[in-house]
Amino acid sequence: MKLNIALLAGDGIGPEVIDQAVKVSDAIAKKFNHEINWKPALTGAAAIDAVGEPYPDETHDICMASDAVLFGAIGHPRFDNDPSAKVRPEQGLLKMRKKLGLFANVRPTFTFPSLLDKSPLKRERIEGTDLVFLRELTGGIYFGEKGRSDEGETAFDNCVYTRAEVQRLAKKGFELAMTRGKKLCCVDKANVLETSRLWRETVQAMEKEYPEVEVSYEFVDAVAMRLVQWPNSYDVLITENLFGDILTDEASVISGSMGLMPSASLGSDIGLFEPIHGSYPQATGLNIANPMATVLSAAMMFENFDLQKEGKAIRDAVNSALEQGIVTEDLSENGKSYGTSEVGDWLANEI
C-alpha cells in the first residue's frame, strides 16, 4: 500500500516523539512492503512563529491531500502565561479539528501486564481494564459563542449541540461496541443540562437499532468516581466535548503513564492520530520524553487502514520493550532508563 501521511510535529516534545513514530512506521513499511510518503507541515506555536497563524492554510491543504495525519503536540508556556494573547497554539488545534471534520475522538485506555504496579491505583482495581472513550470533538462549549459583558466583569461560554451531532458520534459508539463487549455508556449531566437531555433522548431513540448492545446512562460526576474505583466495568463510553476532555485525561493515568496512551480523531474523510499527552515543554530537547504513546498512535493509524498485522507488530514491539525495561525515565526502575531516540531505535530494530 502507498500512503501519504501529513506529519505535524508541533511544539515541545512533539518533534522528538514524532521522529520515533516515523522510525517505527518506516520499519513497518519495510517489513510489510508498504510505501510511506511523509509530508511535514507546521502547526501550533511553531507555525505562529513562522507565519503568525497556528493552523496555516498551507498545512490544511497538506492534510486534505493526505490519507491520514500523524500529529505530535502543541503548546508553549509563553502563551499559557499570557491571558491577553490574541493568537494561541490551541486555537490551531480547534481550527484543525473543525476544518478537517474530526468529530470523533477515540481514546482507548488499557493496561500493560508488566506495568500494573506503576499505576496510582491498586492492581486489583485496574487489572483487565480495556475501555474506549468516544468524545465529541467539534461541538459543545469549546465551539459555542463566548465573550465578555458588563465591561469585562462577566464572562460566558455557550454550550450548543444539535441532534445530528449527537447521532453521528453515538453511531460510531454503537458500532464500536458491537466489535467489542457490546456495552455502551452514555455520559451526561441530564439532571441539570439541557444539552445533556438532548444527548440522552437521542441515544435512547437509537437503542432499537442496536438490540445486542447493553446501554447505560451515567452522570459525568459518577463516571469520574467509578473510573478510579472500577474502571474495568466499562467498555465503550460516549460523551460531549468538555466532559470527554476531562474524563479521558483522568482515565489515561490508569495505565501508569500518560506517555503510553494513543488516540485517534476521526471524521468522514480523514483520520488524525496523536498521543494524548501535551507538549511537555520542560522536557524539550532533553531526550527523555516517552515516545510510546505516539508510536501506538501510529499503530492505530495502520489499523484504521485495516492493516491489522502492522498494528499488531507495533503493539507487540511496545509490549516487548516494556517487559524488557527498554523505557524512558518516567517508567524506569532502579535508575535504568533509555533516551527517547534510543527507545525509538530499539522498537524499529525489534520490528
Q: What is the set of active-site residues?
A: 142, 189, 221, 245, 249
What residues does 147 pair with on adjacent strands? Answer: 156
Strand (E) or helix (H) holding 36: strand 35-40
- Closest to 118 in 3D by CA, of 320, 258, 314, 2: 258
Task: Give SS3 for 62.
Answer: helix
Question: How far, in Å, CA of 309 to CA of 349, rounded?
Answer: 17
Show the DSSP H helices in 82-162 as ranges.
Answer: 89-100, 123-126
In angstroms, the CA 174 to CA 184 distance is 7
The type of residue at 80 is D
Going along 158-305, which residue ranges are E strands?
A: 183-188, 214-219, 236-239, 262-266, 271-275
Burial class (CB in 10 A: 0-12, 13-18, 19+), 268: exposed
The rounded distance, in Å, linking the Cα atoms of 21 and 299 is 9
Q: How far apart are the C-alpha atoms of 272 and 21, rounded to whole Å?
A: 14
Q: Which string of DSSP letters, residue by residue, matches 307-345?
A: -HHHHHHHHHHHHHHHHHT---GGG-BTTB---HHHHHH
> How distant, in Å, are the alpha carbons of 233, 331, 332, 333 from that of 328?
31, 6, 6, 10
Q: What are the counts of helices (DSSP H) followed by strands (DSSP E) for the chain? A: 13, 12
- In whole angstroms, what is the distance from residue 342 CA to residue 346 CA? 6
CA distances in angstroms from 144 to 177, 187, 209, 220, 297, listed in the order given? 29, 20, 31, 20, 29
